[in-house]
Amino acid sequence: MTENPLAHRLDYTLAELDDGALAASPIALFQRWLVDAADLPEPNAMVVSTVDAIGAPTSRTVLLRGIDDDGALWFFTNRQSRKGRALAENPAVSVLFPWYALQRQVIVLGTATPLPAERDDAYFASRPRGSQLSAWASHQSETVASRAALEEQMASVEERFPEGSPVPRPPHWGGYRIEPREIEFWQGRPSRLHDRIVFARDGDRWAAVRRQP
């Protein structure tokens, strides 16, 4: 008999967040948790949620590609995509790191602003060639008639930039810097009495509180 996945329950027992975490640096704590997740598949995957001009929320997974000293998170995308258009209207974002195997998650609330062109260029130049070509070939978030049509677009780009020639960064492709205003650390605990430590930013300082689960 197949087990009903909706009936599955896991008791969380791997770790804890004691009250000493209230005095920690949220950036240092996040970086430590990121290192702890290094052996997981896609440890830098984060779910970015945006709100468009009519107030409709959407979420998608992207990859964290950098962290500033002050905790700002970087990711790169097509700025003409659905998320890019939403960020142009409303720069507020929510970011979720779902490290289920560690019984942990981190939620970052903040504001996204475009990275400068020189940083976009530097990161684009470091990408694998196939990823560079895909950035030109894919009109991200737009409809396409078929997989074959998508592959035809890729073939056209490969002809435009033959093997051995540099692939410049598309003008519509670039990065965002998410400046956090709140960071929540969640650690699963037995009996659903989980730990939630929340850091809120006040200027250059962070204040921490424990929230009830």
pLDDT score of 56 more than 80: yes
For residue 14 the two structure tokens come to 């791997």
pLDDT score of 1 more than 70: no
Q: What mean pLDDT is predicted for residues 64-71?
A: 92
Bridge partners for 66 per DSSP: 74
What residues act catalytically? Answer: 192
pLDDT in tens, 84-103: 999 999 999 999 999 999 99
Give SS3 for 157: helix
Residue 127: DSSP 8-state: S
Higher-pLDDT residue of 185, 11:
185
Are 183 and 107 in contact, with CB atoms under 8 Å apart? yes
In terms of Cβ atoms closer than 10 Å to its own Cβ (0-12, 13-18, 19+), residue 51 is middle
Q: What's the pLDDT at 161?
A: 97
10-121+173-210 maps to CATH 2.30.110.10: yes
Q: What's the pLDDT at 94?
A: 98
Question: Over pLDDT 90: what percentage of the chain?
Answer: 90
